[in-house]
Amino acid sequence: MLLIVLAYLGGALTILSPCILPVLPFVFARADQPFVRSGLPLLAGMALTFALVATLAAVGGGWVTQANQYGRWLAVALLAVFGLTLLLPRFADHLMRPFVSAGNRLSNFAQADGQQVRAGSSFLLGIATGLLWAPCAGPILGLVLTGAALRGASVGTTLLLVAYAAGAATSLAVALLIGGRVFTAMKRSLGAGEWIRRGIGAAMLLGVVAISLGLDTGVLARVSTVATGGLEQKLVDRLSPGSARTQPVAADAGGAMMRANAPAIAAADANADGNAESKTTANSSASDAAPLPVEGALPSLNGAVQWLNSPPLTTEALRGKVVLVDFWTYSCINCLRSLPYVKAWAQKYKDQGLVVIGVHAPEFAFERNIDNVKKATHDLGVDYPVAIDNNYAIWRAFNNQYWPAHYFVDAQGQIRYHHFGEGDYAESEKVIQQLLAEAGHANATKVSLGIAGMSAQGVQAAADNADLQSPETYVGYQRADNFASPGGAAQDTLHTYAAPSRPAVNEWGLAGAWTVGAESANLAAAHGRIVYRFHARDLHLVLGPGANGKPVRFRVSVDGAAPGAAHGADTAADGSGIVTEQRLYQLVRQTGDVKDHTFSIEFLDPGVQAYAFTFG
């Protein structure tokens, strides 16, 4: 219920956003007509159409997006004609003459100043407006759309989108009622009504032009006189039901990736109990621990598109085994940092009845590529069973919300414990020992806790959360924050950017010819750059080569110089490196005191795809 309220409030705030400007003329086109027969059906059509299209786009794939483009152009044409009828009365007379006869026979609607007010035509105008409305993607809309994508088509996700649209419709209804009264008062002045109607018609045509040129999702998305994003984030922080310990990046009804670098993640603290990479001994026996509660039965593992390292596993076949289910995705920094522990548990306890199952649920489109997942599991040394959950079937069966998420299942097939995010590894291992002891493997409690030796290296090493002040940052416009290139980002359009001259901490920008898409930014010409002012020990960037798979050379600098000893696992001391595959690249690892630095990466070849920054 809180999520529905949050979505509704987020929609209501859109009235303060510049992205609402192009559709305002369409909404106010009939401000002089009775609200019940004109404004109300228009807003209902707009809200329902937006919710329907957003639901299909989130869960239906690219074909829905393509179909919606045709619908948008049809709506543009319809609204352009409607604007012309308001601006040019003679044009309206000629256009509507064939329909006058039929319209008179069906004239059961109320009259207003001699003009018929048809609820059906207003609803049609609302549908057209709903097809064109592209609200600024603030935190709340990001929550809703991410949840829709991860949960799939359901009543819950549709209700969230309807609530968001209803919030927007409510604020517009208030504005429309006020505007209608003002319009009626002005009509009492000689000739004012006709001129106002023509002015609205001209404004509608300007709105059509703005939408046709992409200004509604480009310029206006970057120019805001009111910090609606900040207001939305405060609402999210206050009302989100997500755990305060995990601080999800998009906690919602459907699912979310844990924010990889939020400094407040206590669970990810490298100094927390059991996170040390050296081998430790248990301080207390797991067999003496308090009984673990039953959280529910192990859900079905059906729905994976493919299994790696094993034939498909079922809940029935796993009965009698202690099971650890690990939800992960291979470019997720949190998942990579927890992976050494999961692998160690799989190896240490396999002879005592532990079965580890990795459920690979993709975040980015390239993680749906089975060959990519196969290569990643091989390179990462994952040899236990992995279910490729491209359709989020297992994710939804568990009602999961985070990457990584660990579910601990006893020999009777009951979930007894769960842990979201990094950290608390000693506690998790004690749970494994306790469940194995319950299943008759008493010797499991005598095994030393932790990883033997320095097994966690490179990107898998624990983060330095004590001095981590930079958050995970997405490059694609759907979830991007703190973009500081002059003029902002032009969505889905090739554009030449300039890097910000003096970015503040956690601000970033592009330089060169880039196309910024919803998920990533693609470089069209060589020598494009990305600049980021950060405060963290490690800097990572999820990258991929071009569509043809051709490697892309790059050069990294920190404060204008080669990184030297601060180079990451994927860069040399002179800052050079090559993007050869779609994955997370560690570009900077500092030693000593952590300070604010300006990171820059220049790509010497075109075609690179940049997805997200993470830090450690």
Say what the pLDDT of residue 109 is: 38
**Residue of 331, 537, 297, 532 lying closest to 412 (CA atoms):** 297
What is the rounded distance in angstroms from the CA atom of residue 429 to the CA atom of residue 286? Answer: 9
- What span, in angstroms and rounded, lies between the C-alpha atoms of 204 and 510? 34
**CA distance linking residue 556 with residue 600, whole number of Å:** 6
Determine contact, residues 205/83, Cβ cutoff 8 Å: yes
CA-CA-CA-CA torsion sign (24, 26, 27, 30): positive
Structure tokens at 82: 């409607």
- Predicted confidence (pLDDT) per residue in 452-486, tens digit: 654 557 888 888 888 899 999 999 998 899 999 99
Q: 266-460, what's its fold?
A: Glutaredoxin (3.40.30)
The token pair that represents 17 in the structure block: 């956003």
Taking phi first (over 0 means left), then psi (-120 to 50 degrees means alpha), and beta for anything else, what does residue 179 get? Answer: alpha
**What pLDDT was estimated at residue 549?**
87
Give counts: helices (H), strands (E), the chain.
Answer: 15, 20
pLDDT at 354: 96
Q: What is the CA radius of gyration of the chain?
A: 28
Q: Where are the domains of the chain?
A: 2-91+117-230, 266-460, 468-615
pLDDT score recorded for residue 10: 72
CA–CA dist 339, 461 (Å, integer):
10
Compute the C-alpha angle 472/475/476, nearest 5°: 125
Closest CA to 574 of 557, 551, 553: 557
Tens of pLDDT along 281-315?
344 455 567 889 999 999 999 999 999 999 999 99
Provide the pLDDT for residue 4. 74
Question: CB count, 10 Å around CB of 535?
Answer: 16
> In sequence order, which residues have a C-beta less than 8 Å from that of residue 234 and are 6 or more positions away?
none
Q: Which of 78, 83, 85 is nearest to 49 (CA)?
A: 78
Helix 155-187, helix 139-151: angle, nearest 10: 140
Instruction: Supply the pLDDT for residue 541.
Output: 98
The encoded tokens of residue 247 equal: 């601080």
Stretches in the chain below the pLDDT threshold 50: 59-68, 92, 96, 99-117, 137, 190-192, 216-228, 239-284, 454
Q: How many residues does the chain have?
A: 616
Long-range contacts of 453-458 (CB under 8 A, 24+ apart): 453/277, 453/278, 453/279, 454/277, 454/278, 455/277, 455/340, 455/344, 456/277, 456/337, 456/340, 457/569, 458/569, 458/586
Residue 293 per-residue DSSP state? P
pLDDT attached to residue 34: 77
CATH number of this structure's domain 468-615: 2.60.120.260
